[in-house]
A = this chain, B = another copy of it.
Amino acid sequence: MSRRSGILEFAVLGLLREAPMHGYELRKRLNTSLGVFRAFSYGSLYPCLKSLVANGWLIEEPGSSPEDARAASLAGRRAKIVYRLTAEGKEHFEELLAHTGPDAWEDEHFAARFAFFGQTSRDVRMRVLEGRRSRLEERLEKMRASLARTRERLDDYTLELQRHGMESVEREVRWLNELIESERAGRDKRPGPDQ
């Protein structure tokens, strides 16, 4: 239930796989370190953490630093809550990582997937990369078609906007080509899906 789902859930799981953390720290890493995700608010993060706990993917632990211990010892006080990935949570994340369906090549999903490529097996990486590329190529086709149909009716600014948009997409395709090429060449720093 209450699947506060998708990217946030995925990203939280992925970050906690590297190390246990509390909510506040998690949010900072979400917003800055990875640089990928949009700035999630506490209003979405904390409820998401609660639902992950309810699902059994995460457990809450009291903070381990001395102040936390002191704070916790005082009855009724609220201490820092450190979240740790459970075995089930790890397994679940592994499953999410293995999905290579069409959603995985959408903009935000793709960025999230890429951010955890270090924990992904090479064949999955290839499928995601190639899926993303074909997704972009479709998009490019549509843009070209619609541009051909309407070029005359558009003013200079609209035209410039479309041109710039297409150029950006084309650039990403070239970037993907390089990545795919280097995956093929086998420059594969990390062995497999695990460790």
Contacts and interface: CB of A to CB of B under 8 A. Distances in A.
A143 B35 contact: yes
A114 B156 CA distance: 11
A147 B179 CA distance: 21
Given A156-B189, A168-B168, A36 B161 contact: yes
A73 interface: no
Interface residues of A, number: 32
A18 to B, nearest CB: 9
Interface of A: 32-36, 111, 114-118, 142-143, 146-147, 150, 154-158, 160-162, 164-165, 168, 171, 175, 179, 189-190
Given A116-B157, A160-B179, 6 more contacts: A33-B154, A35-B165, A111-B161, A114-B157, A168-B168, A171-B171
